[in-house]
Amino acid sequence: MSRAADERLLAAKRGVWRPQPLIAQVHWRWLLNVALLLYIVLVWFSVDVNWARVSQGLDRGLAFLASFLRPDFVSRGGEIATGLMESLTMTVTATVVGIVLAIPVGLGAARNISPQPVYWICRAVIAVSRTFQEIIIAILFVTMFGFGPLAGVLTLAFASIGFIAKLLAEDIEDSRREPLEAIRATGAGWWQWVHYAVQPQVMPRFIGLALYRLDINFRESAVIGIVGAGGIGATLNTSINRYDYDTSAAVLLLIIAIVLASEYLSGRVRRWVA
Amino acid sequence: MPLQRIDNELVWRQRSPVQQRLIWLGWFLGVCLFLFCAKVVSDNTIWEFMTDAHVQAASLIARMVPPDWSITASLLLPLWDTLNIATVGTALGVVIAFPLSFLAAANTSPHPLLRALALMVIVSSRSINALIWAILLVTIVGPGLLAGMIAIALRSIGFLGKLLYEAIEEVDQEPVEAIRATGAGRLQELAWGVLPQIVPAFAGTTVYRWDINIRESTVLGLVGAGGIGLQMNAAINNLAWGQVATVFVLIFATVIFSEWVSARIRHAVI
């Protein structure tokens, strides 16, 4: 390697400067490039694009883009309002239920405050909840609990558990040791210990997390309706399948507006809490 | 006012009475909102379905166990497609998000109007789930892998763009000024002052998004955008729950694997 470094130095003395390569070894660089090329070739042959269909669809794409300029909130106003109401209520319910269930799992999954067996059980719950997409869970819950917003609430709550519990557990593991020891030294029991030593350290971030999850749950509630779990998703899916792009554009704009508003609000709250 | 006089004795309280009442009021309003939402949900729910939910769950599990391993071989190609959707989608997303994030960062944006536009693109892309993009794209470019790849790319732009422009806004200004002092032009300043500082964050974010995208691309087939989701949808429509279980196991393994890879790479980079 030193030879390459010498060459760089000599070149620099001649007034030719080149930046350090990202990967030092030459053969690794070559291997990576060849692998990349091979991968691109492989992908190129496994994707077969029907270009005739694409060019035919481009008109539709343009029509869709144009419909963002004239969104139609009115002609399907009733459906949109019901769908949004359902989505919003589902979001709030699922987030509250999810948080309430996630706190014990999160406490159990923090290595520094829980016994080994509990730790592994809670970590397993988190892994299962995080691996599967909300949609997959929604399909299962719809078969179990029937169509409607309840299946959606359960889906979102289940997904929230993994998300919040994982981040909460990591936060607890990162918390400062001194307060934990100080409260323990006063002879506090486990509950008092968690309440007075752990809770104050993780609370601000936890509130931020909960608000962030509220945001995610709303966005997800727009999708799980596609498989029958209630919310605005069903309205959106129907309008797209009917090529009623003006209504789809209206729904999408409403979703974007609500996400934007909630992001702004949660930013305010987080700054106020922290 | 932490100290209060109660019965002629000074007592320490964490909050003043007014603060305490405001907090109680906040909790009360929150609980009311939750109850109201729960009531709306419950009004729209057919509770008759709930009475035999445990029976349904038991029969579902009975039909899923054991998984039907005979279809595993036919699932490998769709799984490869799923990985490709995620990888190519992430790559496309990076290509678009990279310049966009420079437009969106307050310290590198050439014009406030361009910045507002870039931020709007980022927010719109982030607000809309990949599955919705996929539904749209399937009607536009037709069913298949291409729709899935573009859907993943469109969703990734917002995520990558947001994290990248935040990283750009947090760069140390001193190296940038040093580069400027050498007489570098605007682009050279970005290339040698800003870029080296954000490369680790950039690589980490990209790999993280790739990991998320693998998870998301497993379900895109439900709406016809290719990958293993197509097989899953077919199995669900045939009520072949043994096959569905096989798909689940494969998805679980893939996601765990990709999470491991992504964690390793991020560990090496950052």
Q: What is the pLDDT of residue A162?
A: 92
- Residue A221 in this model has a pLDDT that exceeds 80: yes
| Chain A residues closer than 8 Å to B38 by CB | 89, 93
**Contacting A residues, span 104-123, partner chain B, CB-CB under 8 Å:** none
Q: What is the pLDDT of residue A94?
A: 94
Dihedral sign computed on CA atoms, order A94, A100, A102, A105: negative
Report the C-alpha gap between A20 and B3 in whole angstroms: 63
Say yes or no: A28 and A163 in one domain: no
Q: What is the pLDDT of residue A89?
A: 93
- CATH code of the domain covering residue A247: 1.10.3720.10
- Residue B129 in this model has a pLDDT that exceeds 80: yes
Q: Work out the minimum CA distance from B7 to partner chain A, whole angstroms.
A: 28
Say yes or no: A87 and A191 in one domain: yes
Residue A54 inside a domain? The answer is no
CB–CB contact B252 A255 (8 Å): no
Residue A101 inside a domain? The answer is yes
Q: What is the pLDDT of residue A154?
A: 92
Q: What is the pLDDT of residue A213?
A: 92
| Chain A residues closer than 8 Å to B128 by CB | 219, 222, 252, 255-256
Calculate the alpha carbon distances from B152 to A68, A200, B86, B103, B204 in Å: 21, 39, 7, 22, 18
**DSSP state letters, B142-170:** -SSHHHHHHHHHHHHHHHHHHHHHHHHHT
**Contacting B residues, span 141-170, partner chain A, CB-CB under 8 Å:** 141-142, 144-146, 149
From A220, which residue of chain B is nearest by alpha-carbon distance?
Answer: B129
The whole-number average pLDDT for the span B57-82 is 87
Say yes or no: A32 and A87 in one domain: no
Tens digit of each residue's pLDDT (9 = 90 or more) over B170-228: 899 999 999 999 988 888 888 888 998 998 888 889 998 999 999 899 989 888 888 89
Confidence of residue B58 (pLDDT cuts 50, 70, 90): confident
Say yes or no: A87 and A160 in one domain: yes
Q: What is the pLDDT of residue A5?
A: 76
- Residue A69 in this model has a pLDDT that exceeds 70: yes
- Residue A245 in this model has a pLDDT that exceeds 90: no
Say yes or no: A160 and A37 in one domain: no
| Chain A residues closer than 8 Å to B81 by CB | 46
Say yes or no: A84 and A23 in one domain: no
Amino acid present at B135: I
CB–CB contact A148 B45 (8 Å): yes
Say yes or no: A126 and A241 in one domain: yes
Residue A69 inside a domain? The answer is no
Residue A56 inside a domain? The answer is no
What residue ranges do the domains of chain B occupy?
Answer: 1-44, 74-269
**Domain total in chain A:** 2
From B241, which residue of chain A is nearest by alpha-carbon distance?
Answer: A140
The whole-number average pLDDT for the span B233-242 is 88
The whole-number average pLDDT for the span A222-227 is 87
Is A269's Cβ below 8 Å from some Cβ in B? no
Confidence of residue A125 (pLDDT cuts 50, 70, 90): very high
| Chain B residues closer than 8 Å to A142 by CB | none
Number of Cβ within 10 Å of residue B52's Cβ equals 14
Confidence of residue A113 (pLDDT cuts 50, 70, 90): confident
Say yes or no: A24 and A91 in one domain: no
Q: What is the pLDDT of residue B109?
A: 87
Tens digit of each residue's pLDDT (9 = 90 or more) over B134-155: 988 888 888 888 899 999 999 9
The whole-number average pLDDT for the span B90-115 is 92
From B127, which residue of chain A is nearest by alpha-carbon distance?
Answer: A256
Distance of CA A66 to the CA centre of its chain: 29
Mutation for testing the A interface, residue in B129, B246, B250, B265 having most A CBs under 10 Å:
B129
Of residues A36, A16, A188, A167, the one with CA closest to residue A105: A167
Say yes or no: A163 and A31 in one domain: no
Q: What is the pLDDT of residue B1?
A: 53
CB–CB contact B222 A226 (8 Å): yes
Residue A70 inside a domain? The answer is no
The whole-number average pLDDT for the span B20-39 is 92
The whole-number average pLDDT for the span B227-233 is 89
CB–CB contact A146 B255 (8 Å): no
Q: Which residues of A144-175 are buried (b: 16+ CB within 10 A; e: fewer)?
A: bbbbbbbbbbbbbbbbbbbbbbbbbbebbeeb
| Chain B residues closer than 8 Å to A19 by CB | 192
CB–CB contact B139 A243 (8 Å): yes
Which CATH superfamily groups domain B74-269? MetI-like (1.10.3720.10)
CB–CB contact A150 B127 (8 Å): no
Say yes or no: A92 and A163 in one domain: yes
The whole-number average pLDDT for the span A172-182 is 89
Confidence of residue B103 (pLDDT cuts 50, 70, 90): very high
Tens digit of each residue's pLDDT (9 = 90 or more) over A154-172: 999 999 999 999 999 999 9
3-state secondary structure chain A: CHHHHHHHHHHHHCCCCCCCCCCCCHHHHHHHHHHHHHHHHHHHHHCCCCHHHHHHHHHHHHHHHHHCCCCCCCCCHHHHHHHHHHHHHHHHHHHHHHHHHHHHHHHHCCCCCCCHHHHHHHHHHHHHHHHCCHHHHHHHHHHHHCCCHHHHHHHHHHHHHHHHHHHHHHHHHCCCHHHHHHHHHCCCCHHHHHHHHHHHHHHHHHHHHHHHHHHHHHHHHCCHHHHCCCCHHHHHHHHHHCCCHHHHHHHHHHHHHHHHHHHHHHHHHHHHHC
Residue A234 inside a domain? The answer is yes
The whole-number average pLDDT for the span B13-36 is 89
User: Which residues have a Cβ under 8 Å from the Cβ of B253 and sit 6 or more positions away?
Assistant: none
Confidence of residue A274 (pLDDT cuts 50, 70, 90): low
Sort B172 into a burial class: Cβ within 10 Å, 0-12 / 13-18 / 19+: exposed
The whole-number average pLDDT for the span A78-92 is 91
Residue A59 inside a domain? The answer is no
Amino acid present at B214: I
The whole-number average pLDDT for the span A193-220 is 90
- Residue B93 in this model has a pLDDT that exceeds 60: yes
| Chain B residues closer than 8 Å to A149 by CB | 41, 44-45
ipTM: 0.81
> Which residue in the set B37, B132, B192 is minimally distant from A223, CB to CB?
B132
Q: Domain containing A269: what range? A: 80-273
Say yes or no: A28 and A124 in one domain: no
Confidence of residue A93 (pLDDT cuts 50, 70, 90): very high
